[in-house]
Copies of this chain bind each other. A is one copy, B any other.
Amino acid sequence: MSRLLAVDLAKSYRLLNHGPTVLVSSAAGQRSNVMAAAWAMPLDFDPPKVAVVIDKATHTRALIEASGEFVLNVPCRAQAEAVLRAGGTDGRQVDKFAHSGLSGLPSQRVAAPRVDGCIAYLECKVISEPRNQQSYDLFIGEVVAAEADAEVFADGHWRFDGDAKRSLHYIAGGAFFATGEAFEVET
């Protein structure tokens, strides 16, 4: 069981700043779902906002439009197979949590579940922008709660040691990069 610690909201952009692939989890009524998304990024610092692309054809889209909420979960290398399964199936046809071998955890501020075993969580409320949603499948969310796995994120910084808990960067067709070597440049 990972130990989760709260991340200061004004620093929550740090969870996404390096461009990891995320899992988007959502719920409405008795339904919940999880999908993979490589197209997500921070959009503002304070209040923190994120942008994420959610295709009209997805079950996740319907759940987010019904609930006005979603969670961006940052998965890790140990979950890569599950991420691929969550990206390659349709939540209208299968229970993607079950199909991916992922389980939901309660969130703090939204009804959408978090995905157990991920290394960071950004709970978001949709800022309604109908034109973006319709024309570009682009959703903007305000981050209302953020937590990270204390083993790999502390004092506002990722600290990856081993491989299993490194974040992921999806390429295509089952291929990923792991987040690589950290280095510093003189300012």
Interface residues of A (CB under 8 A from B): 14, 17-21, 38-44, 49, 51, 53, 77, 80-81, 83-84, 88, 129, 131-132, 136-138, 140, 156-158, 163, 166, 169-187
Measured CB to CB, the closest approach of chain B to A166, in angstroms, equals: 7
- As for how many copies of this chain the complex holds, the number is 2
Given contacts A19-B20, A40-B41, contact A175 B182 (CB under 8 A): yes
Known A51-B41, A170-B18, A187-B173; judge A179-B180 contact (CB<8 A): yes
- Per a CB cutoff under 8 Å, which of B14, B43, B138, B172 touches A43? B138
Across-interface contacts of A171 in B (CB, < 8 A) = 14, 17-18, 157-158, 182
Q: How far is the CB of A100 from chain B (nearest CB, A)?
A: 12
